[in-house]
Amino acid sequence: MLFVQRTIRFPLLPTVDQQDVLLETMQQYTECFNTVAAYGWERCEKNGIELHKATYYPLREAYPYLPSQLVISARAKATEAVKSALTWKVKKEREFPKKVAKVLARGKPAPTFKPVRCPRSDINSIRYDQRSYAFHGDHVSLATVAGRQVIGLHLYPYARRLLAQSIEYDSADLIFRKGRFWLHVVVTLPDVEFVPNGEVVGVDFGITRPAVASSNQFFGKRSWKGAERRYFRLKRALQSKGSDSAKRHLKKLSHQVSRFRLNCDHVVSRQLVQSVSPGTTIVIENLKEIRSAVWSLMLIHVTHLSAVLVVVIFIVRIVNLNLVSSARIAVLNSTPI
């Protein structure tokens, strides 16, 4: 039997005292994260076992009220961040001379090298596992610096349906955003078995038209390109201004752009999936390294294509479709697309 994992967002309903406890827990969790990240960055150490040996007991002494499971969780997240930063550092230092040579060949001034810095967080989300959180009806029990806290949560109908279908609970992330606490829970659901009907549809992601299928169908709207350009010009103008008001406007604009792109992703993915019948294989282009493959302003139109693929991947599982990348097109060469 096949399985698929989904993430469900729950708004928490803590009391005033519980809010203070959660904030204190997140603060100590963040300090543990920053300590491990700084240690690993200074020594170029990205092995989780070695970082655990070097930092676990000092952190337990420094933060005795933080549960040991959360100390280990902070170390695991810091290990992932350090490993990613060190990998990106090597890649950036290796590719920067090529970038300079390419820019100089165009007759433009050489760009300034921006080094990769040590990962650091002001307020880090807490990653819980099955031993540090549990569901109790409309409440959830979370490990904190003040022991277990049973906190109410809002179970909306969609979440209730997914929880009823779930086989097991996996990890969960406690997030503090805009003065509210959210719990992102990963659950395992039974997957829909794919029954092919022999049809194959190729999909190409573009700039003027967000997506086009081999069946001569276009998805999305042309107006999205103009909206992206307006957002880009406004963002550039605000960044050049540099005032406090411009910075506040930039922050507000970033959320507006995210909502706009999220809606575009949903529209394209839904149109694409509804255009084919159940059992169809959808072949998409391989978008690996697409950020370095495009040039200049084209970047503003492709930065959210990966989100489109995430939405499409989930929807095709629901309606009994199959999704493959063009890198695997050789296995389908007997069927024209």
| 273 in the same domain as 127 | no
The helix or strand, by DSSP H or E, that contains position 249, with its residue range, turns out to be helix 244-274
> For residue 108, is it within any domain?
no
| 46 in the same domain as 21 | yes
> For residue 337, is it within any domain?
no
| 141 in the same domain as 55 | yes
Distance in angstroms (rounded) separating the CA atoms of residues 152 and 185: 15
Residue 216 pLDDT: 86
> For residue 126, is it within any domain?
yes
The answer to whether 141 and 95 are in contact (CB under 8 A) is no
For 305, the token pair is 């294509």
Do the bridges between strand 211-213 and strand 180-190 make them parallel or antiparallel, or are there none, so unpaired? Answer: unpaired
The answer to whether 66 and 29 are in contact (CB under 8 A) is yes
Distance in angstroms (rounded) separating the CA atoms of residues 270 and 262: 12
Amino acid at 318: I
Residue 277 pLDDT: 83
336 pLDDT above the threshold of 70: no
Q: Average pLDDT of 47-52?
A: 94
For 272, the token pair is 């694409």
Of 133, 161, 190, at which residue does a domain stop? 190
Range with lowest mean pLDDT among 153-167, 217-231, 278-292: 278-292
Q: Average pLDDT of 268-288?
A: 80
Task: List 225's β-bridge partners, or say none.
Answer: none
90 pLDDT above the threshold of 60: yes
83 pLDDT above the threshold of 60: yes
Residue 41 pLDDT: 95
**pLDDT band with cut points at 50, 70 and 90 for residue 286:** low
Range with lowest mean pLDDT among 43-52, 155-164, 287-296, 319-328: 319-328
Range with lowest mean pLDDT among 101-115, 132-146, 257-271, 319-333: 319-333
| 142 in the same domain as 23 | yes
The answer to whether 5 and 13 are in contact (CB under 8 A) is no
Distance in angstroms (rounded) separating the CA atoms of residues 14 and 21: 10
For 46, the token pair is 């990205």
Of 156, 190, 224, at which residue does a domain stop? 190
Of 136, 159, 190, at which residue does a domain stop? 190
| 172 in the same domain as 246 | no
Domain span holding position 18: 3-102+116-190
If one counts the domains in the chain, the total is: 2
DSSP H helices, 63-171, are 68-105, 157-165
Report the length, in residues, of the chain: 337
Task: List 173's β-bridge partners, or say none.
Answer: 127, 184
> For residue 165, is it within any domain?
yes
Which residue has better confidence, 197 or 48?
48
**CA-angle at 73, arms to 69 and 78, nearest 5°:** 150
Residue 59 pLDDT: 96
Q: Average pLDDT of 83-111?
A: 90
| 161 in the same domain as 34 | yes
Percent of the chain's residues with pLDDT above 70? 84
